[in-house]
């Protein structure tokens, strides 16, 4: 017990507060109609203000405090290299590199033509520079092989230039076969041509036309300068006042891809991902999940209120109180804090779950007093005296558990703490003003006054039917044993810091993103290092490359090809033998001639003759082509459209690809200064600062591998930044913030209880079951495989706020003179029980959300609340019975407000 002087001082403050509560509530009862008019006008003003000022800030970049060291490093890096923030990544893969490159070019041109929706577009490895100098990035041997193939193919190209049609191609191949059959002259490189033609014919017969890549046939390695999978990085126009900032740009992009025929129906595999897409998919499921959860919550709340209160007037009164609380809190938040963020907007679901508790406590106690014979006015006075302190303590304690978020470094949840904490105080105010006025204006009927028992629970083995004093020691021994057993399980709980796991895993953006992560060459999660200059960047890259978890580290210098002199010499010699202009041919193909079918038949017969003579690889390829031609002629010889389609498949890419091959012969020496400007700007700033890009070896969808990657790189280069660093160190900061919030909540609530109850013993009686509930909750989550994550980590501070409110109701009712053996027979534990059920319904509805993050929050809160109820309704009464004497026996029977 605290000192007598301090106790007397606190008692006087408590008495004054209770007298104020009683007078305030009495005034609202006596002037009920005026009170209702006042609140009606206030609510109208609030709704008008909300309609004119409601706004959402969906920018997720400021979730953590900017004062954190890794945040400061990230901000400094982004000032120098701001590219690729909130980008859309389009992943394209065609039937071959040529088809992919053509689709990339068309998409890039289309994006640049729509600046309203897209700020910029960047194609890695794309553009005229790489078309001209791409050969310099190949090994010397491959450049030499390319030169040989172009030299051998030059006569073929010259012949096709004179007659670019299917008939001309048939004549050319027939002539080559004749030379082989009769002159013994073997034309080099025909085997891959036969094989490619066979595949294309078979694909058309199967209904999936496939274009020939002439660059691959004639240029060899040139076709593989860039991978068949290509990327287009698009910076969308963002509207942070919309729930989905990038939605308009993403939808417009989908329509553009359809208009450009860049889709599976046209032989192109398309995937859309990137941070903007992932955010949009998460926001979509969050909004859908929030609406569903809110509707389900309200339905369950109404059902449970009907069961608990069994009076339409009480149910309507509680719902009016609840809706008024949400409206006033929303208006207050917009006025004082500003736009809601993606986290703070969830206060509505939390308030429905927590705010209804006040109404249930008030209504059940009010009906109990009416049942005991009090008049309406006297019942209101008894409720204000008997419940005012408990409601006030519960509201302030819950508010403290929310306000505990404010001093933390998790900036994204500070607003939630401020809004939800204020909502608890607003809920308290409405419970002692609006609700009494409503029930006075529309008083309970005489029949409703008699409904204090719960006949539908008579056959349920509730705690009220089994007095706790019979089992108190057994309960405490069992709880102590379970607590000891729960410690190892609690220590095994995990924190999942990866926000990717909080998005629907079936969403397109997530699946594409994870497929890229699985390949170190395409991993979107890369570590970045900012160097003072290029020389320092090279030294950093050299050190980082030696780290076992690193696949490679790039600077702008790595984009300058090596061994340029021998490669340029080969290409210069090639220009003499095959001048670039000789690779040019008409841009359009000649329409199929009338005798095309006949020429195809002649070619088929000669291929059959070659197959009969040559048993080697070329003969077998000729036999397969002859069979394919036979199938085509049998099925489509009389179909002009089919012949035209076959000509397009076999020769459609030839003009453009020959032009690209000609440009590749004009390669020039490459230096850092001659690299494309958009590429240089991504690695070298105007002031000389340079960027080092570090790629992981492992699949970073695995959290442990990401932790290992980040920690190993930071050991070598502590200034590293990038998404993996942000996720790992940001996760640690969030975890620390909630540990801090939990400690603040426990300390703040303990101080509040000590000042209010004025006894260490009574404070500990409330705090001890909460600590047990926290231990059991963490252990249960571990055993059930529910990890803590960025969404559900608020569960522990909320558990404390919820549990302390329930504990306060029980302990203050006990302090009013009801001994522990009969405490469960009163309306207080039943009110706690129904309050817990209604809150559990709110959290349980979140667990059914389609959004994984919201579902995980619902799972964690449901587990926590169920355990809190058990601790408050079982452990606390046992402690009251065994660890203390009854207040009545001590001679200090007090009113709950004293």
Is 50 exceeded by the pLDDT of residue 462?
Answer: no
Q: What is the mean pLDDT of residues 581-607?
A: 80
**667-694 b/e (C-beta count within 10 Å ≥ 16 → b):** beebeeeebbebbbebbbbeeebbbbbb
> Cβ contacts of residue 326 below 8 Å, gap of 6+?
348, 351, 352, 355, 423
Segment 57-110, tens digit of pLDDT? 666 555 566 667 777 788 888 888 887 677 899 999 887 777 788 888 899 999
Q: d(Cα 424, Cα 392) in Å, to the nearest integer?
A: 10
Is 90 exceeded by the pLDDT of residue 486?
Answer: yes
Q: How confident is the model at residue 412 (pLDDT cuts 50, 70, 90)?
A: low
Is 70 exceeded by the pLDDT of residue 180?
Answer: yes
Q: What is the mean pLDDT of residues 284-294?
A: 68
Greatest mean pLDDT among 67-81, 318-332, 580-594, 608-622 lies in: 318-332
Choose the final residue of a domain: 416, 433, 449.
449
Is 87 contained in some domain?
no
Domain match, 220 and 323 both: no
pLDDT of residue 538: 93
Q: d(Cα 156, Cα 37) in Å, to the nearest integer?
A: 93
Is 70 exceeded by the pLDDT of residue 657?
Answer: yes
Percent above pLDDT 70 for the chain: 86
Is 219 contained in some domain?
yes
Lowest mean pLDDT, pick from 431-440, 654-663, 740-749: 654-663
Choose the final residue of a domain: 602, 636, 664.
664
Is 613 contained in some domain?
yes
Cβ proximity of 809 and 394 under 8 Å: yes
Q: What is the mean pLDDT of residues 626-653?
A: 86
Is 50 exceeded by the pLDDT of residue 134?
Answer: yes
Is 80 exceeded by the pLDDT of residue 447?
Answer: no
Is 401 contained in some domain?
yes
Residue 597 structural domain: 139-224+562-664
Is 70 exceeded by the pLDDT of residue 188?
Answer: no
Q: What is the mean pLDDT of residues 710-738?
A: 88
Q: What is the mean pLDDT of residues 3-23?
A: 76
pLDDT of residue 446: 60
Q: What is the mean pLDDT of residues 654-682?
A: 85
Is 50 exceeded by the pLDDT of residue 889?
Answer: no
Bridge partner list, 788: 495
Average pLDDT of the chain to the nearest whole number: 82
Selection from 578, 569, 343, 322 nearest residue 438 by Cα: 322
Q: How confident is the model at residue 565 (pLDDT cuts 50, 70, 90)?
A: very high
Q: d(Cα 517, Cα 705) in Å, to the nearest integer?
A: 12
Lowest mean pLDDT, pick from 50-64, 378-392, 408-422, 607-621: 50-64
Is 739 contained in some domain?
no
Segment 339-376, tens digit of pLDDT? 777 677 667 667 776 778 788 888 888 888 887 778 88
Q: What is the mean pLDDT of residues 238-262?
A: 84
Q: What is the mean pLDDT of residues 242-268?
A: 86
Q: Which residue has the higher pLDDT, 518 or 671?
A: 671
Q: How confident is the model at residue 886 (pLDDT cuts 50, 70, 90)?
A: very low
Q: d(Cα 319, Cα 301) in Å, to the nearest integer?
A: 9
pLDDT of residue 898: 38
Percent above pLDDT 90 for the chain: 21
pLDDT of residue 298: 73
Is 60 exceeded by the pLDDT of residue 439?
Answer: yes
Is 50 exceeded by the pLDDT of residue 385?
Answer: yes
- Strand, coil or helix: 231: strand
Is 628 contained in some domain?
yes
Q: What is the mean pLDDT of residues 50-61?
A: 73
Domain match, 34 and 147 both: no
Segment 839-868, tens digit of pLDDT? 777 777 777 777 787 788 888 888 888 899
Q: d(Cα 741, Cα 308) in Å, to the nearest integer?
A: 34
Cβ proximity of 648 and 211 under 8 Å: yes
- Main-chain phi, psi angles of 529, to 5 degrees: -130, 130
pLDDT of residue 616: 83
Is 70 exceeded by the pLDDT of residue 582?
Answer: no
| Helix runs in 614-675, H state only | 617-636, 640-651, 654-664
- Strand, coil or helix: 449: helix
pLDDT of residue 120: 87
Is 70 exceeded by the pLDDT of residue 324?
Answer: yes
Is 882 contained in some domain?
no
**803-833 b/e (C-beta count within 10 Å ≥ 16 → b):** bbbbbbbbbbbbbbebebbebbebbbbbbbb
How many structural domains is the chain composed of? 2
Segment 514-552, tens digit of pLDDT? 888 888 778 888 899 999 999 999 999 999 999 999 999
Greatest mean pLDDT among 33-47, 157-171, 719-733 lies in: 33-47
Q: Is 602 exposed, middle or buried (0-12, 13-18, 19+ CB in 10 A)?
A: middle
Is 376 contained in some domain?
yes
pLDDT of residue 247: 85
pLDDT of residue 220: 52
Task: Specify the CATH number for the domain of residue 394.
Answer: 1.20.1640.10
Q: What is the mean pLDDT of residues 170-176?
A: 85
Question: CA Rg, the chain, in Å?
Answer: 38
Q: Which residue has the higher pLDDT, 792 or 225?
A: 792
Domain match, 318 and 444 both: yes
Choose the final residue of a domain: 615, 631, 664.
664
Q: Is 404 exposed, middle or buried (0-12, 13-18, 19+ CB in 10 A)?
A: buried
């Amino acid at each position: 017990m605290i000192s007598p002087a301090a106790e007397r001082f606190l008692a006087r403050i408590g008495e004054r507060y209770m007298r104020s509560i009683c007078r305030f509530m009495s005034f609202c009862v006596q002037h009920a109609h005026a009170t209702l008019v006042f609140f009606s006008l206030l609510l109208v003003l609030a709704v008008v203000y909300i309609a004119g000022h409601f706004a959402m800030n969906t920018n997720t970049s400021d979730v953590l405090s900017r004062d954190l060291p890794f945040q400061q490093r990230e901000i400094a890096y982004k000032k120098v290299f701001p590219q690729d923030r909130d980008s859309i990544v389009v992943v394209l893969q065609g039937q071959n590199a040529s088809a992919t490159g053509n689709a990339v070019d068309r998409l890039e041109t289309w994006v640049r033509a729509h600046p309203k929706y897209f700020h910029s577009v960047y194609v890695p490895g794309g553009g005229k520079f790489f078309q001209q100098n791409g050969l310099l990035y190949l090994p010397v041997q491959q450049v030499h092989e390319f030169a040989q193939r172009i030299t051998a193919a030059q006569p073929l190209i010259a012949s096709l230039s004179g007659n670019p049609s299917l008939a001309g191609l048939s004549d050319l191949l027939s002539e080559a076969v004749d030379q082989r059959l009769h002159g013994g002259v073997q034309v080099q490189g025909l085997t891959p041509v036969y094989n490619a033609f066979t595949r294309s014919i078979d694909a058309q017969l199967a209904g999936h036309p496939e274009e020939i890549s002439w660059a691959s046939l004639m240029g060899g390695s040139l076709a593989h300068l860039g991978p068949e999978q290509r990327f287009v990085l698009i910076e969308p126009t963002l509207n942070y006042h919309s729930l989905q900032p990038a939605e308009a740009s993403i939808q417009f992009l989908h329509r553009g891809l359809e208009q450009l025929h860049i889709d599976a129906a046209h032989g192109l595999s398309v995937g859309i991902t990137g941070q903007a897409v992932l955010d949009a998919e998460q926001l979509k499921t969050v909004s859908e999940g929030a609406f569903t959860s809110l509707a389900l919550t309200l339905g369950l709340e109404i059902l449970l209120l009907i069961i608990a209160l069994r009076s339409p007037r009480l149910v309507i009164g509680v719902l009016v109180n609840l809706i008024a609380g949400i409206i006033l809190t929303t208006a207050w938040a917009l006025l004082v804090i500003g736009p809601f963020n993606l986290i703070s907007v969830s206060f509505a679901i939390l308030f429905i779950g927590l705010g209804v508790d006040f109404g249930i406590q008030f209504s059940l106690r009010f009906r109990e007093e009416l049942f005991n014979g009090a008049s309406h006015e006297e019942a209101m006075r008894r409720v204000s005296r008997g419940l005012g302190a408990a409601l006030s303590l519960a509201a302030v304690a819950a508010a403290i558990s929310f306000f505990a978020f404010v001093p933390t470094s998790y900036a994204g949840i500070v607003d939630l703490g401020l809004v939800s904490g204020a909502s608890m105080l607003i809920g308290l105010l409405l419970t002692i003003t609006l609700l009494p006025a409503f029930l006075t204006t529309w008083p309970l009927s005489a029949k409703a006054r008699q409904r204090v028992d719960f006949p539908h629970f008579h056959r349920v083995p509730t705690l009220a039917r089994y007095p706790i004093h019979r089992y108190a020691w057994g309960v405490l021994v069992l709880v102590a044993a379970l607590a000891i057993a729960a410690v190892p399980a609690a220590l095994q709980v995990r924190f999942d810091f990866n926000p990717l796991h909080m998005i629907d895993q079936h969403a397109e953006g997530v699946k594409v993103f994870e497929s890229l992560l699985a390949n170190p060459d395409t991993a979107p999660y890369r570590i970045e290092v900012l160097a003072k200059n290029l020389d320092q960047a090279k030294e950093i890259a050299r050190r980082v490359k030696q780290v076992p978890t690193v696949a490679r580290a790039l600077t702008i210098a790595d984009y300058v090809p090596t061994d340029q002199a021998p490669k340029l010499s080969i290409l210069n010699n090639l220009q003499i033998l095959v001048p670039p202009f000789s690779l040019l041919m008409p841009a359009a193909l000649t329409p199929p001639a009338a005798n095309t079918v006949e020429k195809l038949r002649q070619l088929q017969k000669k291929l059959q003759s070659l197959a009969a003579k040559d048993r080697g690889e070329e003969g077998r390829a000729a036999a397969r082509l002859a069979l394919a031609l036979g199938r085509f002629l049998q099925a489509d010889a009389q179909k002009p459209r089919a012949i035209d389609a076959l000509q397009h498949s076999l020769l459609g890419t030839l003009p453009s690809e020959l032009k690209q091959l000609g440009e590749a012969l004009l390669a020039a020496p490459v230096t850092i200064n001659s690299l494309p400007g958009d590429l240089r700007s991504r690695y070298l700033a105007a002031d000389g600062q340079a960027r080092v890009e570090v790629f992981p070896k492992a699949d970073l969808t695995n959290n442990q591998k990401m932790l290992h990657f980040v920690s190993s790189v930071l050991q070598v280069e502590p200034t590293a930044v990038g998404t993996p660093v942000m996720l790992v160190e940001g996760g640690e900061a969030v975890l620390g913030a909630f540990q801090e919030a939990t400690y603040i909540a426990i300390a703040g609530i303990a101080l509040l209880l000590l000042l209010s109850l004025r006894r260490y013993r009574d404070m500990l009686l409330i705090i001890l079951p909460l600590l047990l509930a926290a231990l059991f909750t963490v252990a249960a989550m571990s055993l059930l495989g529910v990890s803590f994550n960025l969404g559900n980590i608020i569960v522990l501070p909320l558990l404390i706020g919820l549990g302390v409110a329930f504990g306060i109701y029980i302990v203050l009712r006990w302090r009013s003179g009801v001994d522990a053996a009969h405490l469960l027979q009163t309306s207080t534990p039943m009110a706690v029980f129904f309050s817990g059920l209604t809150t559990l319904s709110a959290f349980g509805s979140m667990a059914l959300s389609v959004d994984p993050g919201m579902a995980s929050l619902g799972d964690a809160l449901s587990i926590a609340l169920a355990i809190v109820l058990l601790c408050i309704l079982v452990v606390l009464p046992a402690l009251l019975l065994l660890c203390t004497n009854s207040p009545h026996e001590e001679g200090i029977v007090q009113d709950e407000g004293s």
